[in-house]
Structure 1
Amino acid sequence: MREYSRRGIFGLGIGAAAALSVAGCSSSGSSGSGTVGTKPGRTAGAKPIGDGSTAYTGKQPKQPAKPERLAPGQKPPQFVVFSWDGAGEVGNGLFPRFRKIAEDHNASMTFFLSGLYLLPESKKRLYRPPNNPVGASAIGYLSDDHIRATLKNVRGAWLEGHEIGTHFNGHFCGDTAADRGSVKHWTPAQWDDEIEQAMSFVTKWRTNTGFTDLEALPFDYRKELVGGRTPCLLGQDNLLPTAKKRGWRYDASSPGGLQIWPAKKQGLWDFPLQTIPFAGRPLGVLSMDYNMMFNQSQNSTKGPPANYPGWRKQAADAYIAGFQRAYETNRAPLFIGNHFEQWNGGIYMDAVEEAIKHIADDKRKDVRLVSFRQLCDWLDAQDPQVLAGLRRLGVGQQFTGRG
């Protein structure tokens, strides 16, 4: 695996508040990878958009039924959202692994695709990052084989019912005033430019790569894209006005959230990473693999292997404890963020898999593993007064149905 910048932000006494987004996974095995078209790179019945990188193929498959309103006093379902930053496929088998796990457990997830992962390095000068040199990036450009694998997995994921959000492009982090290239200091207009470039890389991959033998992404990205997560959870305040103008529905960039029902910020649903219980840390940890790694191995991706079994259990127990606390009390949605990475021997991927299996236990009929977009659909369908009552419940406060 290539080395990337590993800068994060810190605060709240719980370790790094966010992660870099260097998602990667295997080019092996990918369902929905594109063999149904009558010609290479074309799907039967699809309506190509632009250069054919994307196509309209109808409504997205495998979506939940239309949400129903809760009655006053009715206990809400327990929603859990697993999301993945970067969502690139770089040869470690994690993207297809978690697509399969999701299929096995009737789960929908959100994949925050980095637009740069569909742009060949030979075309890097097409990227003009705000306040940074042309072609610069804090994460690596992918090889052609990995771009192909990413396209196949993104295509398959959408057809399986998952959401494709955005993690923007170059992943420029930096928490000081002097680091003007950091997304923390971008203006609303610069965020708009960054989003437009990400959109271009996704909708023009066929032109930029020259690939003619792959199926189009089966969606209109300009309509599908309704939310994202910023690099290192920086820059949300200036992103939100731009996101609102673009018609986005949510943002998942807030650090340091609590396990309470979400509210809107500047007109968008605010879905933060949340503080969950973590053995040995009285203040807990943010609900993301990177933050657990930081607390366990102090930002090293390769700690002592002898510690891996204990760290894996600590991470899995944290996810499960966060779920149990919400499920047994206020039913606040749980948000878990991840990267397709093998940090500390892959223990965080194993911990996430264990958590999914626990959460999706068939004995719990009122648990919903959904994407952020699907959660927006449910929230928007609810009586505002009922949601207001749910938001009054604190962390671990029991739901009584009395508002």
Structure 2
Amino acid sequence: MAAAWRIALGGLTALALASGAATPDASAPAGGRRAPTRPYPAGRPVRLIGDGSTAETGPQPGQPVPRRLEPGERPPQFVVFSWDGAGEDEQKLFSHFRAVGRKYHATMTYFLSGVYMLPAAKRKLYAPPRHSAGASDIGFNDVEGVRDTVAQMRAAWFEGNEIGTHFNGHFCGAHGGVGTWTSKEWMSEIRQAESFVRHWRTNAGLRSEPPLPFDYGKELVGGRAPCLEGQRNLIPAAKAMGFRYDASSIGGRQVWPRKIRGVWDFPLQDIPVPGHDFETLSMDYNFLANQSGTTEGEPARREAWGRQMRDGLMAGFQRAYRGNRAPFFVGDHFESWNGGTYMRAVESVIKKVCVKDGVRCVSFKQLADWLDAQNPRLLTDLRELEIGKAPKNGWARFSGAAVRRAAR
């Protein structure tokens, strides 16, 4: 994958808020599940769409059936691990974390940047709002990069993971950044992100490659904006395009989520920074920004930085798990910043939390499914619980009272 994929540190400065090993064999058994060894499981129907870049292959495997909580039942502890700009490059972090997810029974959300499906030779097909055709702050891909990323997306979907969007050119800041875009411009960006997925075989000249096993127009139900900017005008566009959630807001408190104009708001959350009296967002970049301010910080300090992120994430998780059970959101990038210390920290957290009793490591889409299945009155009551605070009289009385009141 081209070096231009690397996200420039300066372009993400707005996120700095003070408030690996070898890749496992993707076909090897892990956690009782096996990744597909061929493009599609035997007997799976395939109906090509358009140029054959995507296809209808039936319902996505591995999706839990949401149900309403029973009276007196404690909510599950949901944890969502999500990846901005997901793609497969020479680091092979996409394939690595797919294997980690299989082993520890975690489904995740992979936010694809649409330009990762577009070779640099076809860059002019992208017409970004407020920028010239072919512009992109994260560059474009090459043909092999497209092929490798498609292979990971295909396998990830069959394993039950979600393919969301990180949109396209990753423009930030006051001069044409996504925070300045109108809702109409956001709709153009979303349509183009969908188009690059729907036409990757044509655009990359990979017509003999098997298609992605889903209709992206139906599969795409949420995303995260570059630099966490522009949510105000993004929400109307997202709703019009059929999105069910948005994960673009910042500084979220560890409380139960609510909707904005009918769209679930899943913000990155403020969590403790061990050894300090401030909090930062639950994302790898934000720990980096508060530690080194550079992707190539002092090697002797990298291990300590990774421990700090790991312990901060665990503190945020425990605060919810032992308290109000608010869903816990972790955002990351497939980047080996500061020697990969943040990747190791995240993997350590996945290993620890996803196997705990009552914990469900899910995608944002699966979380939205569960929330939509619940009693609205119960969700209202859950949102009133403060950070880290379980119901005063216990979960049995709390949940039961909410359900009984709604039934009157």
Normalising by structure 1, we get a TM-score of: 0.91
1:296-315 map, 5 Å:
296-298=291-293, 300-315=294-309
Structure 2 CA distance for aligned equivalents of residues 319 and 149 of structure 1? 30
- Asked if the contact 1:164/1:224 (under 8 Å) is kept, the reply is yes
1:56-95 map, 5 Å:
56-64=56-64, 66-95=65-94
Structure 1 CA distance for aligned equivalents of residues 364 and 39 of structure 2? 29
CA spacing shift, 1:370–1:11, aligned 2, 3 Å: closer
CA spacing shift, 1:375–1:194, aligned 2, 3 Å: same
Match of 2:8 in 1: 5
1:336-347 map, 5 Å:
336-347=330-341
Query: Where has structure 1 moved over 3 Å in runs of 4 or more?
Result: 1-4, 9-13, 25-38
1:145-224 map, 5 Å:
145-174=144-173, 176=174, 179=175, 181-224=176-219
- Asked if the contact 1:12/1:256 (under 8 Å) is kept, the reply is no
Please state how far the C-alpha of 1:28 moved relative to its aligned partner: 9.2
Please state how far the C-alpha of 1:68 moved relative to its aligned partner: 1.6
- Aligned equivalent of 1:371, options 363, 370, 379: 363
CA spacing shift, 1:309–1:4, aligned 2, 3 Å: closer
- Aligned equivalent of 1:295, options 290, 293, 302: 290
Match of 1:398 in 2: 390
Structure 2 CA distance for aligned equivalents of residues 119 and 34 of structure 1? 26
Q: Which one-letter code corresponds to 2:369 in the other structure?
A: D
- Aligned equivalent of 2:266, options 267, 271, 278: 271
Helix, strand or coil at the partner of 1:350: helix
Q: Which one-letter code corresponds to 2:368 in the other structure?
A: C
Structure 2 CA distance for aligned equivalents of residues 215 and 96 of structure 1? 18
1:353-368 map, 5 Å:
353-361=347-355, 364-368=356-360
CA spacing shift, 1:164–1:43, aligned 2, 3 Å: farther
Identity %: 52
Q: Which one-letter code corresponds to 2:243 in the other structure?
A: W
Structure 1 CA distance for aligned equivalents of residues 384 and 241 of structure 2? 30
Please state how far the C-alpha of 1:30 moved relative to its aligned partner: 5.0
Q: Which one-letter code corresponds to 1:74 in the other structure?
A: E
Q: Deviations over 1:170-216 (max 9, x none)?
A: 00001x3xx1x110011111000000011100000111111023210
Q: After the TM superposition, which of the residue ranges 262-271 and 276-285 deviates more from structure 2?
A: 276-285
Unpaired runs of at least 5, structure 2:
28-34, 399-408
Q: Deviations over 1:44-91 (max 9, x none)?
A: 630000000000000001111x21211344210000000000111111
**How many residues were matched structurally?**
383
Please state how far the C-alpha of 1:37 moved relative to its aligned partner: 6.8
Structure 1 CA distance for aligned equivalents of residues 120 and 233 of structure 2? 29
- Asked if the contact 2:114/2:197 (under 8 Å) is kept, the reply is yes
Structure 2 CA distance for aligned equivalents of residues 233 and 26 of structure 1? 32
Match of 1:19 in 2: none
Structure 2 CA distance for aligned equivalents of residues 353 and 201 of structure 1? 30
- Asked if the contact 2:15/2:286 (under 8 Å) is kept, the reply is no
CA spacing shift, 1:351–1:242, aligned 2, 3 Å: same
Q: Which one-letter code corresponds to 1:119 in the other structure?
A: L
Match of 1:227 in 2: 222
- Asked if the contact 1:301/1:344 (under 8 Å) is kept, the reply is yes
Unpaired runs of at least 5, structure 1:
16-24
Please state how far the C-alpha of 1:5 moved relative to its aligned partner: 2.6
Please state how far the C-alpha of 1:4 moved relative to its aligned partner: 4.0
